[in-house]
Amino acid sequence: MSDASTVSNPSWRIEPVGPLHGDVTVRGSKNAVTKHMVAAVMGRTPSKLSNCPEIGDIQITAEMLRSLGCHVEVEADTVTVEPADVVSGRVPLSYGGLNRIPILLVGPVLHRMGEVFVPLVGGDRIGTRPVDFHVSSLEAMGAEVHMGPDGLEAKALRLHGANIRLPFPSVGATETVLLTAVLAEGRTVLENSAIEPEVIELALFLQRMGARIELRPDRRFVIEGVERLQGAEHRLDGDRIEAFSYLVAGLVTGGRVRVHGCPQGRLVTAISTLQRMGARFEITDDWLAVSAQSLRPAVVQTDAHPGFMTDWQPPLVVLFSQCAGMSVVHETVYEDRFPYVAALKEMGAEVELFDACLGGQDCRFNESTAMHSAVVHGRTSLRGAEITVPDIRGGFGYVIAAAAAEGPSLLHHVHHLERGYHRPLEAFAGLGLHISREGPPPPS
Ligand code: UD1
């Protein structure tokens, strides 16, 4: 390929080979590692994270922390953050729009510097993704916040504890509150918190750094601010989104994939959902494997943890296209998570989108025009296609679809995938898929 889009953006060429078989080992999760790096900014001593994936998001976050004066080393699977020399409270504009990390830096940098500027956050375009819960939580804890056209400025002489109730159990806003409350003066009570495994992992890391955090049974975090935090060490838990994606890649192609490195507990709702569809699991302390003779359709609603994770939704829709009968997905976390379906339809999938809440209770998007329910009619043969990847999770859905299709596929803009998956080409090649890359080198 030599067209202009592939000069700056890499592409993957995929030749399906039939059933995928083999082993994949996942590393620590993308959605945890960068947040741990942010927490480390508050330690008086260095922090060390191991089992880190090789993903672009770590490089982006490392550069942001370096711009503040932190010393960050990324060596093999280990990231070390030495925060002693934080000298700036300003994250440069050039880091705007790349990931969700800038907004999470606000509380920690306020503790260090008393003022902060962060550029607008980015991440996948799967909904409006506002930061209003973050801003109102920071204000409740005493920050003076100003949202400008380029980013967010905040000031606070000393942050204090507060009683906060999130309108929705947002992962990022829960993390903002945890990262801010740990060094604030007094007690913070956070109701309607997100309790995703990656959030709990961050809370445990902060506890290891010396924070006083309790999780009450009703999804309430109670945090007593402390005067100082130390650095800590942590080996990250396996990425449940990657694990699910590879397990489904096996099922979609009629093969059997064994995933190492992701604890069963992180996949519990994924396992029970696939079991309901007729999948057979083998599970040990070290790995999970899944296969199926035939799969039944299902009705699935995405939700906050412990519900079915929204990031598992694109692989599931591809799997539904290969199950005989009608399946339904009700997306309740993001209002705009189905645009990727258009290309799947071009590949031959039969999917209809609705603004109604199908297959579950009415959600926040009930009265809106958001197309947040999908009906999938299977089983349809998929054809290879040339596709531009829209976002990280939808994009991985295309890889899985391409592996199950007839004929080759060419996926452009796979930098979205390389930002968040650990060595995906090697993983798929290890499962037997013929997959090759064109374009500039991947992040190392
Ligand atoms: C994180 C994950 C993402 C996952 C999501 C939900 C990272 C880097 N990303 O995203 O992979 O899909 O959790 O499990 O960890 N909301 C607001 N206002 C806010 C904050 C959120 O309205 O201030 C809404 C969002 O628009 C969305 C919902 O709350 O509809 C959930 O978002 P949230 O849980 O915050 O997602 P992220 O933390 O951005």
Written as one letter, the residue type at 424 is P
* Mean pLDDT lowest among 67-81, 126-140, 234-248, 249-263: 126-140
419 vs 107 pLDDT, higher one: 107
In angstroms, the Cα distances linking 86 to 181, 192, 322, 339 are 20, 33, 52, 41
Atom 33, ligand 1: which residue's CA is nearest?
170
CA of 196 from ligand 1 middle (Å) equals 11
pTM of the predicted model as reported, rounded to 2 decimal places: 0.95
CA pair distance 228, 247, nearest whole angstrom = 42
Domain with CATH 3.65.10.10 in the chain: 11-26+238-438, 30-235
What digits encode the pLDDT tens for the residues 34-53? 999 999 999 999 999 999 99
CA of 171 from ligand 1 middle (Å) equals 5
What digits encode the pLDDT tens for the residues 282-305? 999 999 999 999 999 999 999 999
The closest alpha carbon to 212, from 202, 203, 224, belongs to 224
In angstroms, the Cα distances linking 245 to 3, 69, 111, 222, 326 are 30, 37, 38, 34, 21
- Indicate if ligand 1 lies below 6 Å from the C-beta of 311: yes
CA pair distance 406, 42, nearest whole angstrom = 52
Average pLDDT of every residue of the chain? 93
pLDDT of amino acid 418? 83
pLDDT of amino acid 387? 94
Classify 92 as helix, strand or coil. Answer: coil
What digits encode the pLDDT tens for the residues 186-221? 999 999 999 999 999 999 999 999 999 999 999 999
Atom 9, ligand 1: which residue's CA is nearest?
31
Atom 2, ligand 1: which residue's CA is nearest?
31
**CA 168 to ligand 1: nearest atom:** 29
Question: What tokens appear for 74 in the block?
Answer: 């990324």
Domain 11-26+238-438 class in CATH: alpha beta
What digits encode the pLDDT tens for the residues 133-190? 999 999 999 999 999 888 999 999 899 999 999 999 999 999 999 999 999 999 999 9
H or E segment at 50? strand 47-50
- Indicate if ligand 1 lies below 6 Å from the C-beta of 131: yes
Q: How many CB atoms neighbour CB 361 within 10 A? A: 10
298 Rama class: left (phi>0) / alpha (psi -120 to 50) / beta = beta
Per-position b or e across 273-301, b if 16+ CB within 10 A of its CB: bbeebebebeeeeebbbbbbeebebbebb
Residues contacting 285, CB < 8 A, separation 6+ = none
- For 308, which DSSP code? B
pLDDT of amino acid 6? 39
Q: Where does 30-235 sit in CATH, by number?
A: 3.65.10.10
Classify 423 as helix, strand or coil. Answer: coil
Just list the catalytic residues. Answer: 124
- Indicate if ligand 1 lies below 6 Å from the C-beta of 396: no
